[in-house]
Amino acid sequence: MDVKRPLEAIDAAFVEIVQAGAPAGSFSLPDELMQQVIDARDQIPSLHDVDRMYLPPNSLVRFRGMIQATHNPEIYLDVYATRGPQGETAVHTSRYRDMTNTKEDWEIDFDSQHNVYKSRHTLHCVPIPAENTWVRQHLAASAPQTARVAGERVRPGATKRATMDEGDDDDDDDGDGGDDDGDGRGRGMEMDAEQQQQQQFPAKKRAGDMTATTIDDDGDSHQQHGQAPGARVADEHVHNLPLPDDRTPALLKVYGDDPGVKLHEMVEVIGVYVNDPTPPSALTDEERAFAEPLPPSSVLPRIHCIHMRTIQHHNPLIPPQLAHLNHVATALPGAAVDARPPLHRALLALVGGDDLTATLLLLHLISRVHTRTADGTMTLGQFPLNLFGVTGPLADLPARLDAFLSTITTSSHLLDMSLRSLNTMSMNPKRSGSTDKLSAGFLQLPRHAHVILNETAMEAGQLNERGIANLMALKTAMDTQQVAFEFEHAGSIMFDIDVQLLVLSEGKSMLPVSTKVPIAPTADVTAPQLTDDETDAIRAYLDLAKHAEFTIAEEMQEAISSDFSTMRQEDPSITADALHRLLGIARLVSLSYGRSSLDLDGWTEAKRIDAAVTQRMHAQ
C-alpha cells in the first residue's frame, strides 16, 4: 500500500468486495490491508514531525495524543450509489474521507437500495500535553528517514528545555538539538524579557547542531511566539489545548463499534489525514445557536483512523505495551540499582544536600494512583508534596527543578501560581451551554504527568471567583485525583486524572498538601551532574517503578496491624489517615529500591521518613 495514497487501495478493496457479490453494507477493511497499514508504521510520517504544509492530503499519518473531549457520533453514508448523466449507476464508499467523491455531473442517488448509513465516532485528540522534549526527540529520531521526507522539510517540535544554563552537560545525548525555549509551553508569557533572553540564549547555542534549514524555521517560530503571545492564546482557544503546544490537535474519526476510550486516555492512531480548506457547512442561524460548528479541517485536521490503540505511557525507553507483567517485574530491580543512586544524587544537589527532601522528591517522582473506589470516595497512591522554604539560595529551585524534571520525566510542567495566572486560567474543562463549545482545562493532563506549582510566584492581591474555583480544582486534584468537567447550567461530572503535584512555596503551602516539609539545605545548591547513560536509566526507571505491581505479604500485614495499634496507644494523634500515609510511603520506598513487596526494612524506612517529616515540621 502506498502510504501517500491509501484511499486507492481501500477503494480497490471495496470494489472487489462489491464485485464478489458481498452485501456492500458489511464492508470492512480486509485484514491483510489492515496488517499492511500496521506494518508500514515506520514509513508513515507522524503528524507532529512534519510540517503540515508538506503533508499531502489523504495520505496516511500517525498521531499520538490524549483524548481531550468527545463529540456526538457522526452519521455518514458509508456506502452510496451515484447516478451519472446518462442514468448509469455506481456504488462507492465514503470510508476514511470527509467528502463523498462523486465525479463531475454525477449525483448521489439518495433513494438507492445500496445506501448504507453508519455512524463514526469523533474524538478530539490533543498532542500529549506537557510532553517533554526528549520524548519527542526520541520518537522523531526513531522514525526512519523515509518518514521524515514525507515533506521536504522536517521540523523538530519547538519545545521546552528551559533555563538549563548547564544544558550542555546533559543533553548531547541525541545529538539532534532539542532546542528550545520555555515559551513553547506558554510559560514565557509570564516571564520578563530578561528571562526570555536568558532562555533563548542556550537554545541558540545548542542550535549549532542542527541543519541550517531547521534553524531558520525554528528560530522564526520562536520570535513569533515571543512577540505575539496574544495570538497564541487565541490559537490555543481554537485548538482546545490544556497547555499551549506548537503541535496541532486533531479530530479523530473512528469507525466500527464505540471505541469506549475514556477522557484523558492516550491513544496512538494510524489514519488518513484530511485537510480540506473548504469552510464547514452553512448552518441556519437557529442551528448555529445550537451548536458551534467545528473549525474547518485546515485549522483542526481530521484523521480517519484505520488503526487505533490506547497506550499506557509514552516513554520511548520502555516497551510500548507493558501488558506482560513480567517485563516490569524483571526490569525494575536492575533499573533501580542503576538509576536510584544517581537520581538521588542529582536531587540532593538540587536541594542543597538535604537528604530528607531529596528522598521525598524521589518518592514523589515514582508515585501514581494505584487504587480508586468506583464511587470516588478514596484514591490511593498519589503523593502530593509541598517543599517550603524556597527562598534565598533556593529561590530558583522551581526553575531548576522544572528543568531537571523535563529531562527525566515524560510529561512535566511548571505552573507559576501568580495571581494573574490563577485569575485568568481555567483548571477545569468547560462546555458552554449555549454553543456546546468545549474548552480545555489545565488539569487535563496525561497519566503520570508531573506538575510543579510554584507558589513563590504568588503576590499580594485578591483572587477573583475564577481564581478561587481554580484553587478548589487543585485541591480536588490533590485529594481525589479528579477533574470536574463543567457543563454550564447542568452541573459537572468528575473525571479521573493521575497527576502528581509538587508545591514549592516560601512558607507552608496554602493548598492542603498531605506531606509538607521545609527544605533544610546543608550545602550549596549545585547543578545535577548526570551522564547520558544515567539520564536514560533514570527515565526508564521512573516509568517502570510507576507501572510496578506491589504486594504486602500476610505476615507483614499482621506486623503492621499490631504495630499500628501500638503506635496509636503511644500517640493518639495517629489516625487511619496516618496509616494510609505510612503505607503509601512504604510502598514507594520499596518500589524505589526495586522491591515489589513490602518487607520490614521498607516499613521501618517509611516510619523513619514519616517521623523525620513530622519532627522537622514540629521544629518549625
Partner 1 sequence: MADLREELQPRKAKWLAFLEDVSKDGFYNDKIEDMIQKEQNRLIININDVRKEDPELARETMTSPMLEVTAAQLALKELVDTKDSAYSTKEGSFFVGFSGSFGAHHVTPRGLSADLLGRLVCVDGIVSKCSLVHPKVVKSVHYCPQTKLSLERTYRDATSIDGLPTYGLYPREDDQGNPLVTEYGYSVYKNHQRMTIQEMPERAPTGQLPRSIDVILDDDLVDTAKPGDRVQIVGIYRALPNKRGGTTSGVFRTVLLGNTVRQLEKEVQMPSLTDTDIKNILKISKRKRGRDTPFHLLARSLAPSIYGNDEIKMGILCLLLGGTEKNLKRGGHIRGCGEDEGDGGGGGVVFLVLYLLCACVRSVRTLFSSSHRQPFTAAVSRTRTHTHTLTPSYAHTYTLTPSYIHTHTCSHAQQQLDDTLILALRHGSTKFISAGIHTSLNARCSVLAAANPVYGQYDPYSTPTDNIGLPDSLLSRFDLLFIVLDKMDPEVDSKLAGHVLKSHLYRRPGESEGEALRMETAGDTVIVEPPEDEDEEETDVWAAHQPGMARRRGRARILSVDFVKKYIMYARARCQPKLTEDAAEFISDAYSTLRSREHDDKTLPVTARTLETMIRLSTAHAKSRLSQTVDRADAEVAMDLINFAYYNEAKPLAKPRKKRHPDHDDSDSDSDDGVDGGDRMPSTPKPKQKPRATATPTRKAARKANGQSDASPAKSSAFSKARSATAASGAYDPYDFDAPTTAAGEEQPAKKAKQSSSSSSATTTTAAADGDENGTAQAQEEEEEEEAAAGTAISADEMNRFKAAVLAVYKSLKHETVQISELLDALAKQGMTLTEEEARDRLAIMQENNLVYVSDDTVFLV
CA 568 to chain centre: 41
Task: Quote the least distance from Cβ 395 to partner 1, whole Å.
Answer: 32
Pick the stretch among 234-242, 319-327, 499-507, 533-541 that binds partner 1 (CB under 8 A). 319-327
Pick the stretch among 140-148, 160-168, 212-220, 481-489 that binds partner 1 (CB under 8 A). 481-489
Q: Which of residues 532-561 bind partner 1 (CB under 8 A)?
A: 546-549, 551-552, 557-558, 560-561
- Using CB under 8 A as the binding rule, whether residue 285 contacts partner 1 is answered as yes
Task: Quote the least distance from Cβ 218 to partner 1, whole Å.
Answer: 35
Q: Which amino acid is at 497?
A: I
- Using CB under 8 A as the binding rule, whether residue 597 contacts partner 1 is answered as no
Please give the span between the terminal C-alpha atoms of the chain, in angstroms, as a whole number.
68
Long-range (24+ apart) CB contacts under 8 A made by 96-105 are 96/6, 96/7, 96/10, 96/255, 96/271, 96/272, 96/304, 96/306, 97/7, 97/58, 97/272, 97/274, 97/304, 98/274, 98/276, 98/297, 98/302, 98/304, 99/276
Q: Which is nearer to partner 1, 69 or 530 (CB)?
A: 69
- Which positions from 25 to 54 touch partner 1 by CB under 8 A, shown as an x/- string? ------------------------------
Give 316's DSSP letter.
Answer: T
Q: Which of 14, 28, 63 shows the shortest CA–CA distance to 303? A: 63
- Of 28, 36, 112, 119, which lies in the binding site for partner 1, with binding defined by CB under 8 A? 119
Task: Quote the least distance from Cβ 531 to partner 1, whole Å.
Answer: 28
Q: Which of residues 500-519 bind partner 1 (CB under 8 A)?
A: none
Task: Quote the least distance from Cβ 612 to partner 1, whole Å.
Answer: 22
- Of 168, 287, 532, 601, which lies in the binding site for partner 1, with binding defined by CB under 8 A? 287
Q: Which is nearer to partner 1, 231 or 378 (CB)?
A: 378
Q: Which is nearer to partner 1, 153 or 437 (CB)?
A: 437
Q: Which H, E and C letters describe 437-500, residue by residue?
A: CEECCCCCCCCCEEEEEEHHHCCCCCCCHHHHHHHHHHHHHHHHCEEEEEECCCCEEEEECCEE
- Which positions from 354 to 393 touch partner 1 by CB under 8 A, shown as an x/- string? --------------xxxxxxxxxxx-xx------------
Report residue 502: phi and psi, to 5°.
-115, 120
- Using CB under 8 A as the binding rule, whether residue 489 contacts partner 1 is answered as yes
- Using CB under 8 A as the binding rule, whether residue 298 contacts partner 1 is answered as no
Q: Which amino acid is at 567?
A: M
- Using CB under 8 A as the binding rule, whether residue 323 contacts partner 1 is answered as yes
**Total residues in contact with partner 1, by rule CB under 8 A:** 99
- Of 14, 27, 63, 80, which lies in the binding site for partner 1, with binding defined by CB under 8 A? 80
Q: Which of 594, 542, 547, 545 shows the shortest CA–CA distance to 132? A: 542
Cell reading at 45: 510520517
Task: Quote the least distance from Cβ 154 to partner 1, whole Å.
Answer: 32
Q: Which is nearer to partner 1, 416 or 498 (CB)?
A: 498
- Using CB under 8 A as the binding rule, whether residue 495 contacts partner 1 is answered as yes
- Of 15, 55, 77, 90, which lies in the binding site for partner 1, with binding defined by CB under 8 A? 77
Upper half-sphere CA count for residue 559 (Cβ side, 13 Å): 13
Torsion angle of C-alpha atoms 30, 305, 10, 73, degrees rounded to 10: 90
Q: Which helix (H) or strand (E) holds 597?
A: strand 597-598
Q: Which is nearer to partner 1, 212 or 323 (CB)?
A: 323
C-alpha to C-alpha distances, 392 to 352, 359, 419, 520, 616, nearest whole angstrom: 12, 22, 22, 12, 19
Q: Which of residues 394-423 bind partner 1 (CB under 8 A)?
A: none
Pairwise CA distance, residues 347 & 355, whole Å: 9
Q: Which of residues 216-235 bind partner 1 (CB under 8 A)?
A: none
- Using CB under 8 A as the binding rule, whether residue 99 contacts partner 1 is answered as yes
Q: Which of residues 431-460 bind partner 1 (CB under 8 A)?
A: 431, 433-436
Task: Quote the least distance from Cβ 579 to partner 1, whole Å.
Answer: 5
Pairwise CA distance, residues 612 & 408, whole Å: 27
Report residue 55: phi and psi, to 5°.
-95, 120
- Using CB under 8 A as the binding rule, whether residue 522 contacts partner 1 is answered as no
Cell reading at 283: 448552518
Total residues belonging to the chain: 620
Burial of 279 (0-12, 13-18, 19+ CB in 10 A): exposed
Pick the stretch among 27-35, 387-395, 490-498, 518-526 that binds partner 1 (CB under 8 A). 490-498
- Of 61, 191, 252, 263, which lies in the binding site for partner 1, with binding defined by CB under 8 A? 263
Cβ distance 434 to 289 under 8 Å?
Answer: yes
Q: Which of residues 337-356 bind partner 1 (CB under 8 A)?
A: none
Task: Quote the least distance from Cβ 583 to partner 1, whole Å.
Answer: 5
Q: Which is nearer to partner 1, 128 or 207 (CB)?
A: 128
- Using CB under 8 A as the binding rule, whether residue 468 contacts partner 1 is answered as yes
Pairwise CA distance, residues 607 & 582, whole Å: 7
Pick the stretch among 14-22, 47-55, 283-291, 602-610 that binds partner 1 (CB under 8 A). 283-291
